[in-house]
Amino acid sequence: MTENAVEIKNLVKKFGDFTAVDGINLLIKRGEIFGLLGPNGAGKTTTINLLLGLLSITSGKILINGMDINTHKSEIKSEIGHMMQETVVEPDLTARQNLELFAELYHVPKSEIPGRVEEALKEAQLTQFADVKAGTFSGGMKRRLDLVQAMTQRPKILILDEPTTGLDVQNRVEMWDRIRELNKRGVTIILTTQYLEEADALCNRIAIIDHGKIKAIGTPSELKKLVGSGNILRFVVGHDQTEKAAGILKKEFGLTPTVKNEVITADVGKNDWSLLAKATEKLEHNGISIFEVSMHLPTLDDVFIKLTGSGLRDTTGEMQTRAAAVRWGRGR
């Protein structure tokens, strides 16, 4: 059996003349937590839908546990669980009934359903709420129920699409613990998230995708080295003052600033923290309005900005992808 849970080779997905996934290659190892990150409209969701067999491949190949998705779709469905961005819980059904429904949808043998349902309720800490309608649950309870629903068939691969969106800090940390526990049991996890600190905390490796192409792949530490090995100096300055401020930092301190909107960042190497005070004083002396200033070690946010040109891009790209898919569907 191959050591890779997922192999993606030269994958392309087009909707008419719009290319949503543009020749990506990925190897996801068995037993790892793999992050797929990118701005809205980058191609993440399309890639996930291709892995799930919900979309047809334009060209390229996907292998799941060594099986070609084009020729072994039914076998592959039993290998993959999926937790969507939107919580999928029937509010008028109890927690037990929701789990029984999903077990049937996943073709779990009828004789095994009661045992698996009890096991899932216990794992989600919902045993005492087993016969309570899910519509009365808190957001965290619904998300826990959603996660164990995705595990009803005991998949070898679990795709988590933004699993903690909308959760408070406590519920988010609890979800992280549940994800780690599933991974310890040998489940390969593919994670998309809008929280970069979440990817940093959970993922063994991360791929950053933008405009349908893979920009970089590596461990969180390896990706951070793409930004620099030293500290990052960051200023948020007044509107239309970024170029002037960047010029001062370059001339006075020999830095090579990166400018994105009103944010200026620069790799300052191993310089001590006195540089922050000196640079701040110099900018203010030259009439620059400073709203935020910090110096920190490289983060995934810095990597994201360097590779994609922004933080979390607005929804324009995502809307373009969806519009292209609709046009393509109508024109078939």
Question: Is pLDDT above 80 for 294?
Answer: yes
| % of the chain with per-residue pLDDT over 90 | 69
- CATH 3.40.50.300 residue ranges of the chain are 4-220
Cβ contact 260:245 at 8 Å = no
What fold is seen in the domain 4-220?
Answer: Rossmann fold (3.40.50)
Reported as a pLDDT band with limits 50, 70 and 90, residue 301 is confident
List of residues 6+ apart from 71 with CB closer than 8 A: none
- Look at strands 80-83 and 4-15 and give their pairing: unpaired
- Look at strands 205-210 and 33-37 and give their pairing: parallel
SS3 216: strand
Q: What is the mean pLDDT of residues 192-214?
A: 93
Q: What is the mean pLDDT of residues 207-222?
A: 94
Of 36-45, 274-283, 303-312, the one with minimum mean pLDDT is 303-312
Q: What is the mean pLDDT of residues 52-74?
A: 94
List of residues 6+ apart from 188 with CB closer than 8 A: 5, 6, 28, 29, 30, 31, 32, 34, 156, 157, 158
SS3 235: strand
Question: Is pLDDT above 90 for 239?
Answer: no
Q: At what angle do helices 139-150 and 95-105 cross, to 10 degrees?
A: 30
pLDDT tens digit string along 79-96? 999 998 888 999 999 999
Distance from C-alpha of 196 to C-alpha of 273, rounded to nearest angstrom: 25
Whole-model pTM: value is 0.84
Query: Measured in Å, how far apart are the chain's first and last C-alpha atoms?
Result: 38
- Written as six digits, the tokens of 185 are 């049991």
pLDDT tens digit string along 19-40? 999 999 999 999 999 999 988 8
- CATH 3.30.70.2470 residue ranges of the chain are 231-297
List of residues 6+ apart from 54 with CB closer than 8 A: none
Reported as a pLDDT band with limits 50, 70 and 90, residue 305 is confident
Q: Find where tokens 């593919």 sit.
A: 190
Distance from C-alpha of 271 to C-alpha of 295, rounded to nearest angstrom: 10
Distance from C-alpha of 113 to C-alpha of 131, rounded to nearest angstrom: 16
Distance from C-alpha of 227 to C-alpha of 254, rounded to nearest angstrom: 17
Pick the CATH number of 231-297 from 3.30.70.2470, 3.30.465.10, 3.40.190.10, 1.10.40.30: 3.30.70.2470
Residue 4: CB atoms within 10 Å: 18
Distance from C-alpha of 157 to C-alpha of 53, rounded to nearest angstrom: 14
Distance from C-alpha of 98 to C-alpha of 112, rounded to nearest angstrom: 16
Whose CA is closest to 233, among 261, 263, 196? 263
Q: What is the mean pLDDT of residues 52-69?
A: 94
Q: Find where tokens 């190897």 sit.
A: 27
**pLDDT for res 310:** 62
